[in-house]
């Protein structure tokens, strides 16, 4: 089992509450980089001096994850919440979450099936109707365990399973964070800025600030992206496929990838005999959306580890895709002067 | 054995209706520490017999709590390795997307019930509940690799260990009715501290969720004079009408209605009052959805009472109970049994 991936995915870091994951990444990066700093948006930037040129290249992965935030504590001790980032409320029912710094257990209950009308089982329970039960009988009792504004993350254990597969929460984008840590193990001709960004899931808020500060000549974003190679999804709707290697983005809802970079990534993959696939969906976005229009514009490209069921309590990835993504990123960077 | 530890062990043991072999074994091992004699039948019902003082014409009492749980079953192993499934017992399809399960084939395999991310949903699809028939379990293997490992008909359990929420409030899967088995244990422990004149059978029943089948055959076998069914009822939930649910901390819930013997039930309530044990009352208009349904009409009829534990979010993976109420139920049942002296037959006069 990959102990680092376990620590990275089990750590809390809902957008706006990245403290715990940032500390882990900081201590890991500090061993590999020349300098580690945190900017005003909470982005963690690990700098590694180049051997030759003063050219700057930015590597980027977001450290935040989707989750919940407590916005009301009712008199009966029940918590009401908003989702932080995009979560389909249908994945929340009957799941456990951990709330706040003390990681209080909470559950997303639902009226028992016996008390429902048959038609109710066909309807979607909206986020507004959902609630968290922490076993408190009153508001006062609840306030001893949680506070208004506490963030909640899925209570999910990282586990290897199946044939070289892993499951866990926040594979989007802790896998990317781990790829960045791997890349930091090498020294390159240029100055490398490995950025672990905040608040990607609530509208790509952190990455733009990091890019503005660094002013890189090029940025490569490493993501955990949608994968829908599952039953019930038509062949042409499958954005990526598990086990087919890193997914290279041409365009999505927030940016075009720079064509020269994309070509160079593909050439590198072919040359190094690394499997790759083109992402076949233009939906979704990532940090490239803010980075490519930062300052006077920055060349960006996106390479992703395909992850099934992202933004749910249990997402699934293939370890070979993760290893291949790391190899591709490292080989690509080594080819950049 | 500590009741919470026992419960935790039971929750982690698989046993959907019809597949109770391992849970049955686990329960037997614990019953053996308290009972004079423990037996298991062909259906894996567990019978723990306890006696103390022997009196002329003392009653034979049977307590029953079911140890099977709801779950899923493999319907199809797809070529790409995904598993299609059906439910065993009443499962709300809306709890399934994103859940962890264990598929019990030749090997136990961890599986995830997949959910499409919001990014890829089109049009109105997010407005409808996903249907069970359209869901699939991802076990991370290709169809080829699953040959001979997973077969159609293999049972599937949910993965959700016992978790403490706050104080004595705990949650997990299968507390319906493993919490009832914990009440059996609690009753045994409390009875050990009392004197009683009865032949007591603690029966952990099987196949309740699909029609109280374990209770049918076990009651026939024991031939009790008095039947006590132990099950769960609905605890207060924020989104359920208050009049249909019960407080989690005001003691066990005694049921009244045609399925329960009126005289015996009144006696149970009198004994609770006498010993200062809190209880609530639930009215059940017909045959209940519990083992009491089968026990009452076994052979030539068995006067039966039904004692229930309030439980929130029944048939989900986050069923929630109050351990304190488990203990109170055990106390009530131990007192009830130890109160059965000469003349106990009069309790059941019409």
Tell me the angle at which helices B323-338 and B3-11 cross, rounded to the nearest 10 degrees: 110
* B-chain residue closest to A126, CA distance: B127
pLDDT(B65) > 90: yes
Structure tokens that stand for B350 in this block: 């019409």
Mean pLDDT of A178-182: 98
Residue A170: which residues within 8 A CB-CB, separation 6 or more?
A8, A9, A13, A65, A66, A153, A154, A315
Measured between beta carbons, the chain A residues lying within 8 angstroms of B120 are 226, 228, 233, 237, 239, 281, 283
pLDDT(A337) > 80: no
Cα within 13 Å of Cα(A322), Cβ side: 24
DSSP state of A85: S
pLDDT at position A281 is 86
Pick from A111, A230, A308: CB nearest B239: A111
Fold of B71-158: Elongation Factor Tu (Ef-tu); domain 3 (2.40.30)
pLDDT at position A49 is 96
pLDDT at position B29 is 97
pLDDT at position B304 is 98
Residue percentage of chain B with pLDDT more than 90? 93
Measured between beta carbons, the chain A residues lying within 8 angstroms of B317 are 94-95
Structure tokens that stand for B122 in this block: 């089109």
pLDDT(B190) > 90: yes
pLDDT digits (tens, 9 = 90+) for B67-76: 999 999 999 9
pLDDT(A43) > 90: yes
Measured between beta carbons, the chain B residues lying within 8 angstroms of A138 are none
Mean pLDDT of B21-49: 98
Answer yes or no: is the ipTM higher than 0.90: yes
Residue A72: pLDDT band by 50, 70, 90 thresholds? very high
* B-chain residue closest to A240, CA distance: B120
Three-state secondary-structure class, residue B73: strand
CB contact under 8 A, A96 and B114: no
pLDDT(B350) > 90: no
Measured between beta carbons, the chain B residues lying within 8 angstroms of A228 are 116-117, 120
* A-chain residue closest to B171, CA distance: A107
Mutate to test the interface with B, among A231, A233, A234 (most CBs of B within 10 A): A231
Tell me the angle at which helices B175-191 and B3-11 cross, rounded to the nearest 10 degrees: 150
Residue A44, min C-alpha distance to chain B (Å): 27
pLDDT digits (tens, 9 = 90+) for B197-244: 999 999 999 999 999 999 999 999 999 999 999 999 999 999 999 999
Residue B199: which residues within 8 A CB-CB, separation 6 or more?
B49, B51, B58, B59, B60, B61
pLDDT digits (tens, 9 = 90+) for B288-316: 999 999 999 999 999 999 999 999 999 99
Pick from A124, A162, A226: CB nearest B140: A162
Longest dimension (CA), chain B: 75
Pick from A113, A124, A226: CB nearest B117: A226
CB contact under 8 A, B94 and A90: yes
Per the residue annotation, which of B69, B197, B208, B282 is the catalytic one? Answer: B208
Fold of A3-65+169-334: Aminopeptidase (3.40.630)
Q: Where are the domains of chain A?
A: 3-65+169-334, 67-154
pLDDT at position A113 is 93
pLDDT at position B311 is 98
Residue A239: which residues within 8 A CB-CB, separation 6 or more?
A225, A226, A227, A228, A247, A279, A280, A281, A283, B120
Length of chain B in residues, anyone? Answer: 350
pLDDT(B116) > 90: no
Measured between beta carbons, the chain A residues lying within 8 angstroms of B84 are 231
pLDDT at position A237 is 82
pLDDT at position A306 is 97
Mean pLDDT of A10-22: 98
Mutate to test the interface with B, among A79, A109, A154 (most CBs of B within 10 A): A109
Per the residue annotation, which of A28, A200, A201, A223 is the catalytic one? Answer: A200
pLDDT at position B55 is 86
Fold of B3-69+173-348: Aminopeptidase (3.40.630)
CB contact under 8 A, B115 and A312: yes
The DSSP secondary structure of A138-170, one letter per residue, reads SHHHHHTT--TT-EEEE----EEETTTEEEES-
Measured between beta carbons, the chain A residues lying within 8 angstroms of B314 are 112-114
Residue percentage of chain A with pLDDT more than 90? 93
pLDDT at position A16 is 96
B208 counts as catalytic: yes
* B-chain residue closest to A144, CA distance: B166
CB contact under 8 A, A312 and B129: no
Measured between beta carbons, the chain A residues lying within 8 angstroms of B121 are 88
Three-state secondary-structure class, residue B74: strand
Pick from B118, B138, B165: CB nearest A135: B165
CB contact under 8 A, A312 and B97: yes
* A-chain residue closest to B114, CA distance: A309
pLDDT digits (tens, 9 = 90+) for A135-146: 999 999 999 999
Residue B164: which residues within 8 A CB-CB, separation 6 or more?
A105, A135, B170
Mutate to test the interface with B, among A93, A118, A131, A141 (most CBs of B within 10 A): A93
pLDDT at position B178 is 98
* B-chain residue closest to A118, CA distance: B92
Q: Where are the domains of chain B?
A: 3-69+173-348, 71-158
CATH superfamily of A67-154: Peptidase M42, domain 2 (2.40.30.40)
pLDDT at position A182 is 98
CB contact under 8 A, A112 and B313: yes
């Amino acid at each position: 089992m990959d102990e680092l991936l376990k620590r990275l995915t089990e750590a809390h870091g809902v957008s706006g509450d990245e403290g715990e994951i940032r500390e882990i990444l900081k201590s890991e990066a500090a061993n590999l980089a020349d300098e580690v700093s945190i900017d005003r948006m909470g982005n963690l930037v690990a700098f590694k001096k180049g051997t030759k040129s003063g050219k700057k290249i930015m590597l980027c992965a977001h450290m935040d994850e989707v989750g919940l935030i407590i916005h009301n504590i009712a008199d009966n001790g029940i918590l009401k919440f908003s989702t932080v980032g995009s979560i389909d409320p249908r994945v929340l029912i009957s799941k456990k979450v951990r709330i706040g710094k003390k990681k209080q257990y909470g559950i997303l209950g639902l009226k028992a099936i016996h008390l429902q009308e048959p038609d109710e089982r066909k309807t979607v329970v909206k986020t507004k109707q959902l609630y968290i039960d922490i076993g408190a009988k009153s508001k006062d009792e609840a306030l001893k365990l949680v506070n208004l504004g506490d963030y909640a993350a899925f209570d999910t254990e990282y586990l290897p399973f199946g044939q070289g597969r892993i499951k866990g929460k926040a594979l989007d984008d802790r896998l990317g964070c781990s790829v960045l840590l791997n890349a930091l193990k090498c020294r390159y001709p240029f100055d490398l800025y490995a950025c672990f960004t905040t608040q990607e899931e609530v509208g790509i808020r952190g990455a733009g600030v990091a890019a503005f500060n660094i002013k890189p000549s090029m940025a490569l974003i490493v993501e955990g992206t949608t994968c829908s190679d599952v039953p019930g999804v038509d062949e042409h709707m499958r954005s990526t496929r598990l086990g087919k290697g890193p997914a290279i983005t041409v365009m999505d809802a927030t940016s075009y990838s720079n064509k020269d970079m994309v070509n160079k990534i593909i050439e590198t993959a072919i040359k190094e005999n690394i499997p790759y696939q083109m992402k076949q969906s233009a939906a979704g976005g990532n940090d490239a959306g803010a980075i490519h229009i930062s300052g006077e514009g920055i060349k960006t490209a996106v390479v992703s580890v395909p992850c099934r069921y992202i933004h749910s309590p249990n997402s699934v990835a293939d370890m070979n895709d993760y290893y291949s993504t790391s190899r591709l990123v490292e080989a690509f960077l080594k080819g950049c002067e | 054995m500590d009741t919470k530890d026992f419960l935790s062990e039971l929750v982690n043991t698989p046993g959907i209706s019809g597949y109770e072999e391992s849970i049955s074994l686990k329960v037997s091992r614990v019953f053996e520490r308290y009972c004079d004699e423990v037996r298991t039948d062909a259906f894996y019902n567990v019978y723990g017999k306890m006696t103390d003082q022997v009196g002329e014409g003392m009653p034979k009492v049977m307590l029953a709590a079911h140890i099977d749980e709801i779950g899923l079953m493999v319907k199809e192993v797809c070529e790409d390795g995904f598993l299609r499934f059906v439910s065993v017992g009443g499962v709300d399809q809306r709890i399934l997307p994103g859940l962890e399960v264990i598929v019990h084939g030749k090997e136990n395999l961890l599986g995830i019930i997949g959910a499409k991310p919001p990014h890829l949903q089109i049009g109105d699809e997010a407005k409808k509940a996903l249907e069970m028939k359209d869901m699939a379990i991802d076990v991370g293997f290709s169809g080829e690799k699953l040959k001979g490992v997973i077969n159609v008909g293999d049972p599937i359990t949910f993965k959700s260990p016992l978790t403490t929420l706050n104080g004595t409030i705990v949650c997990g899967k299968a507390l319906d009715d493993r919490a009832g088995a914990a009440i059996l244990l609690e009753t045994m422990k409390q009875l050990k501290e009392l004197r009683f004149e009865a032949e007591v059978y603690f029966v952990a029943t099987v196949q309740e969720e699909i029609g109280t089948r374990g209770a049918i055959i076990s009651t026939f076998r024991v031939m009790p004079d008095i039947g006590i069914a132990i099950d769960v009822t609905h605890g207060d939930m924020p989104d359920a009408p208050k009049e249909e649910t019960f407080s989690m901390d005001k003691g066990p819930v005694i049921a009244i209605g045609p399925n329960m013997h009126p005289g015996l039930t009144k006696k149970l309530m009198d004994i609770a009052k006498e010993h200062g044990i809190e209880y609530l009352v639930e009215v059940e208009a017909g045959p209940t959805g519990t083992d009491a349904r089968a026990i009452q009409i076994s052979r030539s009829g068995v006067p039966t009472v039904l004692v229930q534990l309030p439980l929130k979010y029944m048939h989900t993976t986050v069923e929630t109970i109050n351990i304190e109420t488990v203990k109170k139920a055990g106390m009530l049942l131990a007192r009830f049994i130890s109160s059965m002296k000469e003349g106990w037959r009069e309790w059941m006069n019409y």
